[in-house]
Amino acid sequence: MNQTHPFQPSQQEIDRRYRNTRAAMEAHGLDGLIVSGSEYTGFEGAVRYMCGFHILHRYAYVIVPLKDSPVAVFPKEATWVGDHTATFIDEQVKTPHCGEWMANYCRDQGWKRVGVYGLDYVIPVRDYQALADAGLEIVSFDVAFDHSRAQKSEEELASVRHSMDVNKAGVLAVIQAYQSGKTEAELMGVAENVFSSMGTARNTMDMVLIGPNGSLLPQMVFADPNRRVADSDGLLYGLEVTGTGGHWVEFSRMLSPQGLSKETQEMMDAYAEFHELAKEHMKTGASAEDVHRKCVAPFQGKGWRMGHVCGHSIGMTMIEHPRIGEGSEFELVDNMVCSMHPHVMTEDRRASLYFQETFQVTKDGGVPLSGIPVKYYRGGEAAL
C-alpha cells in the first residue's frame, strides 16, 4: 500500500467502507457488486473510495463479493497508467476486456443478481453488454451505494476540509489577480496553477458565469481565452476540486468590481437568507425534501425562476445521491457533506445568481465548511 500522503485510508476506515457497502448489498438481495469509475470528471471517485486507485486514464472496477475478498479490475492497456501501488486491494487483474472477465468471474461465483454502481453514467457500453450477455440480473446500485457512503468518517472529513482549503486558495487567487483587460481564461489559469501546485491533479471542474453591469447571465460556460473582462462585468468563477485525499468540495463567490445590479443585490440578500436557513435546517434526521423547501423560501414569491438543482450529497464522487430537492425523502445523516447551490434568475433570464458552498450536516444544523460569509468581491482583496 502506498503511504505517501496523509489521506490514505487506515485499515479501520477501509473496513468501515466495506461493512457499509455490504450491508446495503444484503438489504437489496445482491450476490455481488461491481463498482465502476472513469476519468470522466467527478466520476472516478467510487473506485478510489473502494480500492485507493486514482484513475489517470480510461476506467477501472472493483468487484465486491458479500463475504470474499474484493478484486480490482483494470484494462490491460492501462497497466502503466496511474499509480497502482496506491491500490489497497491485494487481488488486481489487468485484462484486455474487463466486461468479459467480470462476466466470467460472476458466472464462476454462481452469482445471479449483480448490482452495478455507475450503470446510469459511467460504465463503458461494451463492458455492460458483456455482463448483460452473461444472463445476469443486473441491478442499478447508484442510489443505494451513494446512500451507504453518505455518512463521512472523521478521516474523510479531514480530507474534505483539506479540499476546501485548496478550493478557497484558488478562489482567492482569482480575486487577487483580477485586473480589467485580462481574459476570462487568464484569470481561470491563476486558479488552476494554485490547484495543480496543491495536488488536485486532474480533479478540477471549472466554469464561469458572466454578465454586464454587475449581473450574471444564467449560463455556465468555459472561460473564454479571447474575451477580456471589464470593471462593469459580473464574474463568478465556479470552482470544484478535490485535494490529495480525493473528496470533492464546491466553493465560489461573485466578483463585481463596480458593484451589483439592483436585481443581483436582491438575489444576494436572498442567498444570505438561504445560507442562514441551511445552517438552521440541515440537521441530522431531516428529509432532503424538507430541507429544500425550507431553505429556498427566500427565492419564492419574487417573480424569479429556479434553474440548477438546489443541492446534493458530495464525496469522492462529485455528485452523489441524494439530491436536496423535491421528491427526495432521504433522511440526512450525521456528518453527511452536501454542496448547496441554488440557481435563481429573473423571468427574462437577464440576471441570475449561483454560487457554491459545501455544508456538513450535524445534529445542530448545517456547518458551512468555507467559513466565508455570503458577499461579493471587487477584486484585489487580500483575503476572503
pLDDT in tens, 189-244: 999 999 999 999 999 999 999 999 999 999 999 999 999 999 999 999 999 999 99
Q: What is the pLDDT of residue 309?
A: 81
Predicted confidence (pLDDT) at residue 2 exceeds the cutoff of 50: no
Beta carbons of 246 and 156 less than 8 angstroms apart: no
The sheet carrying 357-362 orders its strands as 320-324, 311-313, 337-340, 357-362, 365-368
H and E: helices and strands count for the chain: 9, 19
Predicted confidence (pLDDT) at residue 1 exceeds the cutoff of 70: no
pLDDT digits (tens, 9 = 90+) for 245-261: 999 999 999 999 999 99
Closest CA to 87 of 74, 98, 100: 74
- Residue written as cell 461491481? 34
C-alpha cell at 182: 485580462
Q: What is the pLDDT of residue 3?
A: 46
Distances (CA, A) of 350 to 226, 293, 301: 22, 25, 18
Cα-Cα end-to-end distance for the chain: 38
Q: What angle do CA 25, 30, 31 make, to 5 degrees?
A: 115
Closest CA to 372 of 225, 271, 281, 298: 271
Spatial neighbors of 161 by CB under 8 A, at least 6 apart, are: 369
* DSSP bridge pairs for 357: 340
- Residue written as cell 476540486? 241
d(CA 122, CA 242): 19
Beta carbons of 72 and 59 less than 8 angstroms apart: no
pTM: 0.95
pLDDT band at 6 (very low <50, low <70, confident <90, very high): low
d(CA 38, CA 206): 18
What does the pLDDT average to over 52-58? 95
Predicted confidence (pLDDT) at residue 313 exceeds the cutoff of 60: yes
CATH 3.90.230.10 intervals, the chain: 154-377
pLDDT digits (tens, 9 = 90+) for 353-384: 999 999 999 999 999 999 999 999 999 999 99
d(CA 372, CA 384): 7
Instruction: Choose which CATH entry (3.40.50.300, 1.10.3720.10, 1.10.10.2120, 3.40.350.10) describes domain 11-148.
Output: 3.40.350.10
Beta carbons of 112 and 136 less than 8 angstroms apart: yes
At the fourth CATH level, the homologous superfamily of domain 154-377 is: Creatinase/methionine aminopeptidase superfamily (3.90.230.10)
Closest CA to 176 of 193, 162, 163: 193
Instruction: Region of 371 please: left (phi>0), alpha (psi -120 to 50) or beta.
Output: left
Chain mean pLDDT for the chain: 96
Predicted confidence (pLDDT) at residue 338 exceeds the cutoff of 80: yes
CATH 3.40.350.10 intervals, the chain: 11-148
